[in-house]
Structure 1
Amino acid sequence: MRLMSFRKPRWVWQQPDWPALTFNAAQAGPVLAHAHRMQGRLEGKAQAIGLQSDVSVLQTLMEEETIATAAIEGQRLSPDAVRSSVMRRLGLSNAGPQDRHADGQVAVIDDAIRSFDQPLDHDRLWRWQSALFPGGTSGIRRIEVGRYRSHADPMQIVSGRPGKEVVHYEAPPSSQVFGQMTVFLAWFNQPTPRAGEAPAMDGVARAALAHLWFETIHPFEDGNGRIGRAIVDLAMAQHHQAPVRLYGLSRQLLAERNGYYEALNAAQRGSTDATAWVVWFAQQVALASEQSGRVVDTVLAKARFWTTPAAAALNERQRKVVQRLLDDGDGGFLGGLNAQKYIKLTGASKPTATRDLADLVAAGMLWTHGQGKALRYYLNMPGWPVSLPPSSLRSLPPEGAHPPLGRPGGRVGLPPNALPSGG
């Protein structure tokens, strides 16, 4: 008698029950509930202080999401180009540098969130992918743009040197892509259940499964990661039934980039039971909500910074430098601001720069560390940490003690409580 051999499926799409992705609600439930609580806290804070309509918050979050989703794929977008692109998209300004790649990424994110009530179809996905690759190239390589991949070669994710490549994942053949995407889109566009029908799937779990499903098909020659995260944006906006989201998942996924790839790869190698992936994804949503809460606090603190009497008295040079410090975020310039950097930014003479900086310290807007050529200036923003040498940290006075700013001896001039807290 001849024994028949059966090859064990290597990838989830080779499983006989694909694409019936499932998850264990009892196991994932507590983590999903926590994610919803974190979202609720953020939304409650936003509603209490009217942040839903605060353009500065929306602008900041959209800029960070745009930069992060590209950075996950190793693409560096100019922050200035992204900022001007977001401002144009929000109708705030038409000035600033333009970059077609930044414009395309911003357009995709904006369409996913703002047009959440529109169906997701093949054409919409094709237009998203076209926007990411103006000119039809990825780098200098020509790729298929505005359509699904059609090449006969396997679509693989590999790493390692030529001849010693490691295949991390292999997607379904190109000949299957259109059919598989048609099934995916039919699932994604299912209407919300009516009264008396089975309850809808948890919104966070739905976004998790949608991302896994799309990334598993890997329908495009390039851009799958960025489009897959835009699908998450769309799914979460649909979950909230609102075009505005105050948390961004791409920033969190960038921070956990290795874990993101590992969790996704594990789900693509396993069975159609995606419980572990849903749990990991929900944990990231909770962390993203917490991080966005801190971003909201920072944006509010920046706004309050400019309402102080000291801020109103600044000259144009000082305003330019202070705004740059605010834009650079926690800690300001790498290595701190000094007189030479001030001169370079403003074109002021050395005596003018020294006088401007001294006035900013006297007004309580900057604080200092070091002396002589090592004197550095930092923005007096409560809660913003600054990386200082270990020897300086050992010399810090007890909490609550506030020596005069610029005190001799190289000690740290702690920021006074002259400005309102961002909390």
Structure 2
Amino acid sequence: MWTWQHQDWPSFRYDTEAFRPQVETFHLKSERLMGRIEALPADLQADAVIGLMLSEAIKTSAIEGESLDRDSVRASLLQLIAQDSVAPRHQDEKAAGAAALMVDVRKHWAEPLDDALLGRWQSMVVVHQPLSLVMRGLYRNAPEPMRIVSGVYGRERIDYEAPPAATVYQEMALLLDWYNRTNPLTAKPAEVISGPVRAAIAHAWFELIHPFDDGNGRVGRAIADHALSQSLGYPTLACLATAIERNRRQYYEALQQISRGSLDLNPWIAFFIDAVNQAQEVAREEIDFVLGKARFWERYAGQLNTRQSRMVSRVFAEGTKGFEGGISTRKYEAICKCSRATAYRDLSALVKMGVIEPLPGGGRNTRYQLRKAWPIDIHSTLERAPEVQR
């Protein structure tokens, strides 16, 4: 029996008091994260926020098995956020849609949810294809069951079957009424639910209804971000999708466990709030990366030649995970358009300067990584940056 077939559906059972310590941790981490952002110079604040959104746009798609081009997503974010007319243009609709979703969720965090807003978010992440039968911007209406299957062709296993399309609008009406009624910005005190718990319930409830033909996972995680933002009173900085992508298997297992029979959401909520708190740590790493990058250029200003600067910029463009496989002589040649001898000479100079260091076990084909030895000290940055917004 699927959970939505339970006679008490959708009267979920959960104990909000059981999660009080985790919720307190969430608010403490959120305050520290916002303080870390506000302590940065204004230009680095913008870089940090874009970096957080870039990571989320890429990872929320990666959870669904979809790979996005990092440069294309970043270009779209620059165009949408900074109104940057010189940002590079591209034809990657998936990247543009993922970026648009991140921006729109942050823009409308304080507003109530409704069918139209959710439909807009779904249409952003589902690219139009002329011959596709997938509905964009509207809930599914096909008479065939909406099923999630796994396994090889001919031996598929039904992992989940959602409520029939004929009941989707009714199901969503119940969810949206509950969600907006418990909005901490407008709700009666007796109806307020702590942000992480409300986000966990809303995400689970939405995924169980599975109202769209496609894009449910990405829209569901956007709803969770929306709920967390409303609990904080400002757009959340937590990298929820990035944290979930790191624990993708456990995430799907947790969702599958709540899809069958029981209305008890306590195990799911415990898992989800842990992911939310991990997401704040991921965001802190992203913010420290932005500051570390700024400290690097400050330290090595004027010491690198054009080719070396190009290579370092290319590595930084990959984000916190760095350059996959490290920096090799061959990669240096390709990126900097130079000879092998020049690449070898430039890399050797970077090693002597302490910019890069060999990866372990290099042997004859030595590969390098950027050293992460530049101190992350926000207070020292503050002393040199009178323009900081306090």
> Is the contact made by 1:149 and 1:219 (CA closer than 8 Å) also made in structure 2?
yes
* Cα distance per residue 1:102-159 (max 9 Å; x no partner): 111211221112211222111111222222223246xx74312221111111111111
Distance 1:180 1:331, change over 3 A: closer
- Matched residue pairs, number? 374
**1:407 corresponds to which residue?**
none
Distance 1:422 1:295, change over 3 A: farther
* Cα distance per residue 1:10-34 (max 9 Å; x no partner): 1221222222223112323233333
Q: Distance in 2 between matches of 1:113 and 1:164?
A: 42
Q: CA deviation at 1:376?
A: 3.4
User: Quick check: 1:115 aligned with 2:108?
Assistant: yes
Structure number with higher helix proportion: 2
User: Quick check: 1:420 aligned with 2:379?
Assistant: no
User: Quick check: 1:209 aligned with 2:171?
Assistant: no
Q: Distance in 2 between matches of 1:198 and 1:331?
A: 44
Give runs of aligned pairs for residues 202-281 of structure 1, distance below 5 A. Answer: 202-243=194-235, 245-281=236-272
Report the 3-state secondary structure (helix = DSSP H, G, I; strand = E; otherwise coil) of the residue aligned with 1:312: coil
User: Quick check: 1:282 aligned with 2:273?
Assistant: yes
Amino acid at match of 1:228: G
Q: CA deviation at 1:197?
A: 4.0
TM-score (norm. length: structure 2): 0.87
**2:331 corresponds to which residue?**
341
Q: Distance in 1 between matches of 2:375 and 2:218?
A: 39
Q: Distance in 1 between matches of 2:118 and 2:129?
A: 15
Report the 3-state secondary structure (helix = DSSP H, G, I; strand = E; otherwise coil) of the residue aligned with 1:268: coil
Q: CA deviation at 1:312?
A: 2.2
> Is the contact made by 1:154 and 1:171 (CA closer than 8 Å) also made in structure 2?
yes
Match of 1:312 among 302, 305, 308: 302
Match of 1:144 among 124, 135, 141: 135
> Is the contact made by 1:331 and 1:379 (CA closer than 8 Å) also made in structure 2?
no
Q: CA deviation at 1:96?
A: 4.6
Unaligned runs of 5+ in 2: 379-390
> Is the contact made by 1:331 and 1:378 (CA closer than 8 Å) also made in structure 2?
no
Report the 3-state secondary structure (helix = DSSP H, G, I; strand = E; otherwise coil) of the residue aligned with 1:123: helix
* Cα distance per residue 1:148-172 (max 9 Å; x no partner): 1111111111112344322111111
- State percent identity of aligned pairs: 38
Q: Distance in 2 between matches of 1:61 and 1:221?
A: 28
> Is the contact made by 1:85 and 1:98 (CA closer than 8 Å) also made in structure 2?
no
User: Quick check: 1:169 aligned with 2:160?
Assistant: yes
Q: Distance in 1 between matches of 2:146 and 2:205?
A: 15
Unaligned runs of 5+ in 1: 1-9, 383-418
Q: Which of the pair has more CA radius of gyration?
A: 1
Q: CA deviation at 1:316?
A: 1.8
**1:393 corresponds to which residue?**
none
Report the 3-state secondary structure (helix = DSSP H, G, I; strand = E; otherwise coil) of the residue aligned with 2:368: strand
Distance 1:293 1:357, change over 3 A: same
Which structure's relative contact order is higher, taking Cα pairs within 8 Å and 6+ residues apart? 2
Amino acid at match of 1:142: L
Q: Distance in 1 between matches of 2:250 and 2:98?
A: 24
Q: CA deviation at 1:195?
A: 9.7
